[in-house]
Amino acid sequence: MSNESPKTFHVKNYGCQMNVYDGERMAEMFAARGMDASDKEDADLVILNTCHIREKAAEKVYSEIGRLRRKDGSSPVIAVAGCVAQAEGPEISRRASEVDIVVGPQAYHKLPEMVAAVAKGESTVDLDLPGLDKFAALPKRRKTGPTAFLTVQEGCDKFCTYCVVPYTRGAEISRPFAELVDEAKALVDAGAKEITLLGQNVNAWGDGEQDLGTLIRALDRIDGLHRIRYMTSHPNDMTDGLIAAHGDVEKLMPYLHLPVQAGNDRILKAMNRSHSRDSYLRIIEKVRAVRPDIALSGDFIVGFPGETDAEFEDTLSIVRETVYSYAYSFKYSPRPGTPAATMDGQIAHEVADERLQRLQALISEQQAAFNRDTLGKRTSVLLEKPGKLEGQLIGKSPWLQSVHILAPGLSIGDIVDVDIVEAGPLSLKGELLMQVAA
Ligand code: 5AD
Ligand code: SF4
pLDDT digits (tens, 9 = 90+) for 221-238: 999 999 999 999 999 999
Which domain CATH number covers 423?
A: 2.40.50.140
219 marked ligand binding residue = no
Residue at 131 is within a domain: no
Taking each helix axis from N to C end, the angle separating 212-220 and 240-248, rounded to the nearest 10 degrees, works out to 30
230/311 same-domain check: yes
Each residue's pLDDT tens digit, 408-427: 889 999 999 999 999 999 99
Q: Which residues contact 368 (CB under 8 A, 6 or more apart)?
A: 425
Note the pLDDT of residue 328. Answer: 95
* Residue 3 resides in a domain: no
Same domain for 345 and 213: yes
Residue 82 domain-assigned (yes or no): yes
Q: Is 193 annotated as a binding residue?
A: no
Q: Are residues 181 and 292 in the same domain?
A: yes
Q: Is 32 left (phi over 0), alpha (psi -120 to 50) or beta?
A: alpha
How confident is the model over 306-364, as pLDDT tens digits? 999 999 999 999 999 999 999 999 999 999 999 999 999 999 999 999 999 999 999 99
Asked whether 280 and 320 are in contact (CB, 8 A), the reply is no
Closest ligand 1 atom number to CA of residue 331:
2
| Helix (H), strand (E) at residue 353 | helix 349-373
Pair 388, 363 in one domain: no
Residue 291 lies inside a defined structural domain of this protein: yes
Give the pLDDT confidence of 376-389 residue by residue, as tens digits: 999 999 999 999 99
343 and 411 inside one domain: no
Please give the residue range of the domain that contains residue 200.
Answer: 138-374
Distance 288 CA to ligand 2 centre (A): 24
- CATH code, 309: 3.80.30.20
Of the candidates 201, 293, 206, 185, which has an alpha carbon nearest to the alpha carbon of residue 246? 293
CATH number assigned to the domain comprising residue 73: 3.40.50.12160
Of the ligands numbered here, which is closest to the C-alpha atom of 301? 1
For ligand 2, is residue 335 a contact (CB within 6 Å)? no
pLDDT (mean) for 251-270: 98
361 and 385 inside one domain: no
**Residue 119 maps to a domain:** yes
Backbone torsions φ then ψ of 322, nearest 5 degrees: -75, -45
Contact 17, 149 (CB under 8 A): yes
- Position 1 scores a pLDDT of 47
Give this prediction's pTM. Answer: 0.92
156 is in an annotated binding site: yes
In terms of domains, do 117 and 22 share one? yes
133 belongs to a structural domain: no
Evaluate whether residue 319 is within a structural domain: yes
* Residue 232 alpha carbon to ligand 2 centre in Å: 10
Evaluate whether residue 1 is within a structural domain. Answer: no
Nearest ligand 2 atom to the CA of 163 is 1
- Same domain assignment for residues 332 and 256: yes
Q: Could you tell me what percent of the chain has a pLDDT over 70?
A: 98
pLDDT value at residue 119: 87
Residue at which a domain ends, from 374, 396, 415: 374
User: Is residue 73 domain-shared with residue 174, that is, in the same domain?
Assistant: no
Q: Which ligand is nearest to the CA of 156?
A: 2
Specify the number of domains making up the chain. Answer: 3
What distance, in Å, lies between the first and last C-alpha atoms of the chain? 47
Whether 319 and 411 share a structural domain: no
